[in-house]
Chain A
Amino acid sequence: MGHDVSNDFVLVLVVITALAFDFTNGFHDTGNAMATSIATGALKPKVAVALSSVLNLVGAFLSLSVAATIASGLVQTKLVTLTVVFAGLAGGILWNLATWFLGIPSSSSHALIGGVVGSTLAAAGSHGVKWHGLVQKVIIPAGLSPLIAGGIAALGTFLVYRITRNVQGRARSHGFRLGQIGSASMVSLAHGTNDAQKTMGIITLALVANHTVPGGSKAPFWVILSCAVAISLGTYIGGWRVIRTLGKGLVEIDSPQGMAAESSSAAVILLSSHFGYSLSTTHVATGSILGSGVGRAGAQVRWRVAGRMATAWLLTLPAAGTVGALSYYAAHGIGGSAGVLVMFVVVAAASAAFFVRSRKTKVTSHNVNDEWTGAPAAQPRVPVAA
């Protein structure tokens, strides 16, 4: 195998893009763990994202069982080239940024899987994709996991309200807010064990495609470290737009509900990754939060917001796949290292555009808990004379 310097250049671009994806994965998903704790005041927004960030970092080192499945179970790895991996990541990043901008908690995992499947389809045709693996390991778990998590959260919510019905209100809120810190921490840890693995798997796939490491290798340590740091930094930035939707948009949430929702999320995510299902932490967290609204008598659940999310979930795989496929055609059409470099610049420019546009309807740690007005991004604040 001749050594080609231009391939190494492309590999560097792919690794940077993968880490950028991991970063978006972090801030897109901060809300999965911390939205309800922020909404109920169990943790101050900045403290919540810092705690979640540290636990994601720890979690990324704890378990490495999902990393293998993402690549080898879904596409024919021997057909995957660096350009395919790059285009897949481009699809994942752009879909993640679009949904973050709209404040929709869509699945980062599905964005990544959709992107890679789309670019593999474009490069190698239908036989490049392991359809059975895709349905069995991704699509069916995606359908079942929010239902299971929602059911468990509804049961948990019902039980905690039933058990503590005679406990004085303020004492109860105080106790469950403390409990929430623990349960939200577990979700953050679970997120680290689950989501950071996916980018590790993708970078390893790229290293295998470039023959830098032999097929079937585990992720090298620098890959584990850099992915852990990238997802942790992303988490610390805090995806306030998504946090707002999850914490305020779906259900008016109280601390007992928050604790029940997070416990359910943590249990379902950790159990599923134990069995090798790389399911979406976002789907699980959203299902749990909805369940916590269903399980409490008289709680308001905004099914319209939930419906919008479900639509985004259905669109995530095909949309990210389409962007992944188009990126592949563009990069491949231009050809070689130049093709990947051009698309790298395009993705960077598009990301910058999303960021600049988001400043107009900024959601920050200061207005994340404002009254829900029907839009994920808060209205500009009118100064009130106090």
Chain B
Amino acid sequence: MLKNWINLSALWRIVVIGILAGAGLPALFAVGLRALSSDPRGGTLTDDDDRVVGGSPGGIAVAAVCFVVVLAAIGYGVYLIVKAS
């Protein structure tokens, strides 16, 4: 029997939460980075400029929300590890 060898309920949780945290958080970080670099005219930085901040207030706000969510998720993860032990 497969279930004698693989704990399927643990497996699917590892996969699903793994996708949310392992791929979702970097994606959210990317959304933040994109928002942060958008310039006030609504486009994004395209010139030869290594500034990360584009200067659009809306973009900065969206970016802040994204980065806070990423940090909070990491903090919650560490909290769960500490609590479990």
B33-59 CB contact bits vs A (8 Å, 1 = yes)?
Answer: 110110000001111111110000000
Complex Cα distance, B51 from A168, in Å, reads 9
Interface hits, A256-278 → B, CB 8 Å: 256, 259-260, 263-268, 270-272, 274-275, 277
- B23 touching A171 by the CB < 8 A rule? no
The reply to whether A268 and B30 contact each other, CB–CB distance below 8 Å, is: no
Give the contact-size bracket for chain B. Answer: 35 or more
Given contacts A171-B50, A175-B52, whether A189 and B23 have CB atoms under 8 Å apart is no
A283 shortest CB reach to chain B, Å: 14
**B82 surroundings in chain A (CB, below 8 A):** 62-63
Which of B10, B24, B29 is in CB contact (< 8 Å) with A275?
B10
Query: What are the residues of chain B within 8 A of A174 when measuring CB–CB?
Result: 50, 52
Main secondary structure of the interface of B (DSSP, over half): helix
Chain A nearest Cβ from B21, distance in angstroms: 4
Whether B36 lies near A175 (C-beta < 8 A) is yes
Residue in A closest to B43 when the chains form the complex, CB atoms: A166
| A160, CB-defined interface residue at 8 Å | yes
Q: Kindly state whether residue A183 has any CB partner on chain B within 8 Å.
A: yes
A172 and B33 contacting across the interface, CB-CB below 8 Å: yes
A48 to B69, CA, bound (A): 25
Q: How far is the CA of A169 from the CA of B12 in the complex (A)?
A: 36
Min distance, Cβ B51 to any Cβ of chain A, angstroms: 6
Among candidates A170, A175, A263, A270, residue contacting B25 with C-beta atoms closer than 8 Å:
A263
Please classify the interface of chain A as helix (H, G, I), strand (E, B), loop, or mixed, using the class held by over half of its residues.
Answer: helix
Q: Is residue A306 within 8 Å, beta carbon to beta carbon, of the partner chain? A: no
A132 to B11, CA, bound (A): 18
Considering only CB atoms, which chain A residue lies closest to B45 in the complex?
A168
Report B64 CB to chain A, min CB distance, Å: 14
Interface residues of A in 86-129 (CB under 8 A from B): none
Number of interface residues of A (CB under 8 A): 49
A62 to B22, CA, bound (A): 21
Q: Is A136 an interface residue (CB 8 A)?
A: yes
Contacts of A159 in B (CB 8 A): 23, 26-27, 30
A247 at the interface (CB under 8 A from B): no
Query: B85: which A residues are within 8 A, CB to CB?
Result: 62-65
* Interchain Cβ contacts under 8 Å between A and B, 17 examples: A62-B78, A64-B85, A135-B5, A163-B27, A167-B33, A171-B52, A174-B50, A175-B36, A260-B23, A263-B22, A263-B25, A264-B18, A264-B23, A266-B21, A267-B22, A275-B7, A277-B10
Question: What residues of chain B have their CB less than 8 Å away from a CB belonging to chain A?
Answer: 4-7, 10-11, 13-15, 17-19, 21-27, 29-31, 33-34, 36-37, 44-52, 74, 77-78, 80-82, 84-85
Closest 9 CB pairs of A and B: A267-B22, A156-B23, A264-B22, A170-B50, A163-B30, A159-B27, A267-B21, A160-B30, A152-B22
Which residues does A use to contact B, with CB under 8 Å? 62-65, 132, 135-136, 140, 144, 148-149, 152-153, 155-156, 159-160, 163-164, 166-168, 170-172, 174-176, 179, 182-183, 186, 189, 193, 256, 259-260, 263-268, 270-272, 274-275, 277
